[in-house]
Structures are given as C-alpha cells and as structure tokens.
Amino acid sequence: MPIFKTFALFALTALAEIIGCYLPWLWLKKGATPWLLIPAAFSLATFAWLLTLHPAAAGRVYAAYGGVYIAVALVWLWLVDGIRPTLWDGVGAAVSLAGMAIIMFAPRTA
C-alpha cells in the first residue's frame, strides 16, 4: 500500500476513533444529550472497520496506527479543544510518526 494512502487511512481511522470517544465524553462531562451515543457507536464501528482495510498483519497495523493516532489527537487538541500543542508535543508526534513509518514500511522478507 503506498505511503500516502496508508497514512490517509490511518488518519481517517484516528478521526473515527476520536469522534467515537469524544461524543460520549461530551455527554458524560459536559451534559450533552445522550443521543450522541448513537453517532459515537457508528464512529467506533467505522474505526474498527477502517483498521481491517490494511493488508498488513493486524498486530503490525495496530502498533503503527498508534503513531498516527498521537499526531491526529494533537491536531484535535488544537482545532477542537482550542489548545495549541507545544514544541514537545510536536517532537513527540514526530517520533511517533517515525515509529509508524518504520513499522509499516521497513523491508521484510516474510
């Protein structure tokens, strides 16, 4: 799977997971309507389905996905929560993305 397509699929997967967790958080912490649990469940089901679209072994996909999740969560922190990530947040995200790239794109014999 090409690098851009892999990263885009991971980013979409992370967005689905974050939305699926954020909506119940709004209900539990901010007093929003419990009806948010319906789109939250749909979003989490979409998250699980998106993870199956990668051709690599499931464990490898889950491990690599974590790196992209970190970066997307920091973008969410900035755009939705209104908190600008720090330099160290950016460094951590860069390290996690490097780890994702190593896990997903390293040459393999089997």
Does 31 reside within a domain? yes
Does 110 reside within a domain? no
How much is the pLDDT for 7? 87
Does 96 reside within a domain? yes
Average pLDDT over residues 84-102: 96
Q: For residues 91 and 97, is the Cβ–Cβ distance under 8 A?
A: no
Q: What percentage of the chain carries pLDDT values higher than 70?
A: 98
Does 81 reside within a domain? yes
Tally of domains in the chain: 1
Q: Hey, what's the torsion of the CAs at 61, 62, 64, 68, to 10 degrees?
A: 120
Specify the residue for token string 């790239």.
Answer: 101
Please state the pTM of the whole predicted model.
Answer: 0.87
Please provide the average confidence, as pLDDT, over all residues in the chain.
Answer: 93
